[in-house]
A = this chain, B = another copy of it.
Amino acid sequence: MKAYQLASRRAGSDSTVVAVSLPGKTVHIGPGTCTIIAGPCSVESRDNYLEIALLLKEIGIDMLRGGAFKPRTSPYSFAGLGEEGLDILAEARAVTGLPVVTEVVDPRDMERVCDCVDVIQIGSRNMQNFALLKEAGRSPLPVLLKRGLAATIEEWLLAAEYILEAGNPQVILCERGIRTFEEMTRNTLDIAAVALVKELSHLPVIVDPSHATGRRSLVAPAARAAIAAGADGLMIEVHQNPDQALSDGIQSLTPLMFAALQRDIRNLAGLAGGISTEGEELRRER
């Protein structure tokens, strides 16, 4: 018996496809989908957020992202609009018809957050915040679980196990880079982990190339690499005016850059679809 018995891939069983349901629409995340989540790092103002949300809907994304509660290294940095941010996210959802994912950092906020969005995010710094994981495990929404900054693959799957064990079967894993000695990139995207986790677990895996690289020019190649390696989707930071973003501007794409990248990704995903089947065969062969 594996240490992460609920998260682990069982012989003969299918991969999990997480379903995010809205009135009149369901977004799937799992094998064969190439779910694209985009938006600014944080919700900075109502007008700004609604504008980018509508632009991204136009470009054809599958889900919106946006932070209301931002974990920040310094207590003096902008930490999000909080409750007001949640209201803006709910409005963006209503206006665009797109599902929304946002991070929750305090177990006491869980209920309120669940009322406003469609997917709950547990961030890297909280991957082993077990109180928060258990609360997410009791929530009715799918949970996007980011890998911790220095979490091993096993620890990441065990964090997922906390959510599954508490009763929530809808977990999406998100690789976002790990901390290494290399200083030219914000983190080191562990691209092989994407394929390895899909081997070890039935859960869907997406990649966040924005945090993984921390450099605008590397987001596109990292995103393409993620899809080529078998990721089920991407989460990408996009901002109307990255140089004026209140957080993470240096790694945010403009809508124009993002639109070009999304075209590439859709093409690649079509090709990768054929490839990944073959991958499955190779896997069985081993």
Which A residues lie at the B interface, using CB under 8 A?
Answer: 3-4, 71-76, 79, 105-108, 125-126, 128-132, 149-150, 152-155, 158, 161-162, 165-166, 178-185, 188-196, 199, 212-213, 215-218, 220-222, 224-230, 257, 260, 264, 267-268, 271-272, 275, 278-279, 282-283, 285-286
Contact = CB atoms under 8 A, between A and B. Distances in A.
A193 B183 contact: no
Given A185-B196, A260-B282, A267-B275, 10 more contacts: A71-B128, A106-B107, A129-B132, A150-B150, A178-B188, A182-B193, A184-B196, A195-B221, A224-B272, A228-B228
Contacts of A196: 184-185, 215, 217-218
Nearest to A155: B73
A223 B5 CA distance: 30
B268 A228 contact: yes
B191 A185 contact: no
A261 B104 CA distance: 41
A195 B218 contact: yes
Given A73-B128, A130-B105, A257-B285, A217 B188 contact: no
